[in-house]
Amino acid sequence: MVADILPRFAPATKRPKLAARAALLDNVPMRKTGGGPPELGRWRKAIDKLDDRIVKLLGERAKCAIEIGKIKSKTGGPVLDPKHEAEVISRVKKLNKKFPPKSLEAIYGEIFTASRAIEKPASVARTVKRPVAAAPALKNPARAAYLGPAGTFSNEAAAEIFGPDSELRPCPDFPSVFREVEEGRADYGVLPVENSVGGSVDAAMDLLNQSRLRIVGEKTIQVRQVLASKAKSIGEIRTLISHQQPLSQCRRFIASELPGVGIIERQSTTSAAAEAAERPHSAAICSLVAARSYGLNVLKEGVEDFPSFTRFVVLSDGEAEPTGRDKTSIAVTIKNKPGELYRLLGVFYKRGINLTRIVSRPIPASNWGYLFFIDFDGHKKDAKPSAALKTVMKTGESLNILGSYPREG
């Protein structure tokens, strides 16, 4: 009998509990175990009963997800909520006593993916009201490359664009995002190009101008940064780690709260969080998801100087067809002569074309020549934009059409 066997091998303090559990198992009918000892069959039978309960509880959880999906369809709330998912994982890790923590996190990752898929059908009304840019032209599910590792804002943008069933491929840097698409390992790339506080992401724009890939969609998300560390207070911080963009978005906070600390730039906010978890007296400016993932203490939330939004573009080897609500992005150089910029802008003004963005970048190895990145309303195949682009080709030194694509909102 199990009740006779197990207590003999247990510490004296645990024998009463084990004896009680074993007594219950003695009442479970034994199944065949291929010649194994009888107590093995009883333990497996107990696991079967636990599995039955787990499946039933997952069913109950799915019912809750369906109801949440209905609410989100009415309020316009996003299916993906990284902050809430991070909080759930943090909570269940604290409850966990026996299960390997990484395995528990992986299991809940699968549960979240399934729950988002369940919520999504109920959220169709939200999608119709505020469609993801270029949704009709994008494959979904798809293979999408983004600046990783998992937990970055690029990850969040990719998940919102392509949904929970897509294969999201984290990349170590911007050039790798381009290579994944150019070499066919990904259908799309997701790239940050500008932030409402930090301005243009110059490294990304320069690579875009050099690549054959074209923009086929866009997505804007709100970015909320946190200061996270293994330390208990801001006063213990000696080193600050983050990506260049968040550092520029939080300049006032850094100057007032962390004057004189050493600053280290990394490829992503998530890699910064990982390093802060290992480096004493250091902190990361990162997302809440990244902070929770690496077990960091959140010393302060909302450390960005102003409400911050980042615009991402979707890259592809193909091109998007006109939809009637489009935007075009170009890179153009002009002659270094008086009035040339005025003439360039006049090309669009005369045709009533709205410019939504204009950014200048010095051209390397030139005598203060400038490259202009310009976004304007309309598709390159539309009559007015097409005529404007033909004129720019004649008057400018160079023109690169980075893409025409459905505009967001």
368 and 382 belong to one structural domain: yes
pLDDT value at residue 125:
31
Q: Tens digits of per-residue pLDDT, 125-140?
A: 333 333 333 334 577 7
Query: Other CB atoms closer than 10 Å to residue 6's CB: what's the count?
Result: 18
Whether 219 and 136 share a structural domain: yes
The residue out of 126, 160, 182 marking a domain boundary is 126
User: How far apart (Å, rounded) are the C-alpha atoms in residues 61 and 107?
Assistant: 14
CATH at 190: 3.40.190.10
Hey, what are 360's tokens?
């200048």
Residues 276-292 have a mean pLDDT of 92
Does residue 104 sit in the same domain as residue 55? yes
Cα separation, 394 vs 270, whole angstroms: 45
Among residues 271, 303, 335, which one ends one of the domains?
303
Same domain for 144 and 216?
A: yes
Q: Are 276 and 289 contained in the same domain?
A: yes
Residue 132 DSSP SS3 = coil
In a domain, 311, yes or no: no
What pLDDT, in 10s, does the model give residues 161-195?
A: 998 788 999 999 999 999 999 999 999 999 999 98
Same structural domain, 217 and 136: yes
Rounded Cα gap, residues 385 and 383, in angstroms: 6
* Cα-to-chain-centroid distance, residue 403: 23
Q: Is the domain of 247 the same as that of 288?
A: yes
- Selected catalytic residue, list 312, 348, 373, 376: 312
Report how far residue 393's alpha carbon sits from residue 127's, in angstroms, rounded to the nearest whole number. 38
Q: Examine the fold and report which residue of 126, 151, 166 is the final residue of a domain before the chain moves on.
A: 126
Are 348 and 332 in contact, with CB atoms under 8 Å apart? no
Q: Binning pLDDT at 50, 70 and 90, where does residue 25 land?
A: very low
- As beta bridge partners, residue 168 has 144
At CA 48, angle to CA 45 and CA 52, rounded to 5? 145
Active site residue 310: yes
What's the chain's average pLDDT?
Answer: 83
More confident residue, 14 or 156: 156
**Is 46 exposed, middle or buried (CB count within 10 Å of its CB: 0-12, 13-18, 19+)?**
middle
Candidates 232, 258, 324, 246; CA nearest to 285 is 246
Q: How many domains does the chain have?
A: 5
Q: Are residues 168 and 103 in the same domain?
A: no
Residues 234 and 290 in one domain: yes
3-state helix, strand, coil split of the chain in percent (to 5) is 45, 25, 30
Q: What is the pLDDT of residues 224-248, one digit of tens each?
A: 899 999 999 999 999 999 998 899 9
DSSP summary character for residue 407: P
Q: What is the pLDDT of residue 8?
A: 44
Domain that holds residue 387: 321-406
Does the residue 312 lie in any domain?
Answer: no
Query: Which tokens is 337 given?
Result: 């002569």
Cis preceding linkage at 307, omega within 30:
no
Q: How far is CA 25 from the centre of its chain?
A: 47
Q: How far apart are CA 177 and CA 312, in angstroms?
A: 13
Task: Check 269, 270, 310, 333 and give the catalytic one.
Answer: 310
233 and 288 fall within a common domain: yes
Report yes or no: 144 and 186 within 8 Å, Cβ to Cβ. Answer: yes
pLDDT tens, residue by residue, 296-353: 999 999 999 988 899 999 999 999 999 999 999 999 998 888 899 999 999 999 999 9
Q: Tell me whether residue 308 is in a domain.
A: no
Q: Are residues 264 and 210 in the same domain?
A: no
Verify that 107 and 167 share a domain, yes or no: no
Which one, of 229, 235, 233, 225, lies nearest residue 296 by Cα? 229
Say if 158 falls within a structural domain. Answer: yes
pLDDT in tens, 207-228: 999 999 999 999 999 888 999 9
Let me know if residue 313 belongs to a domain: no
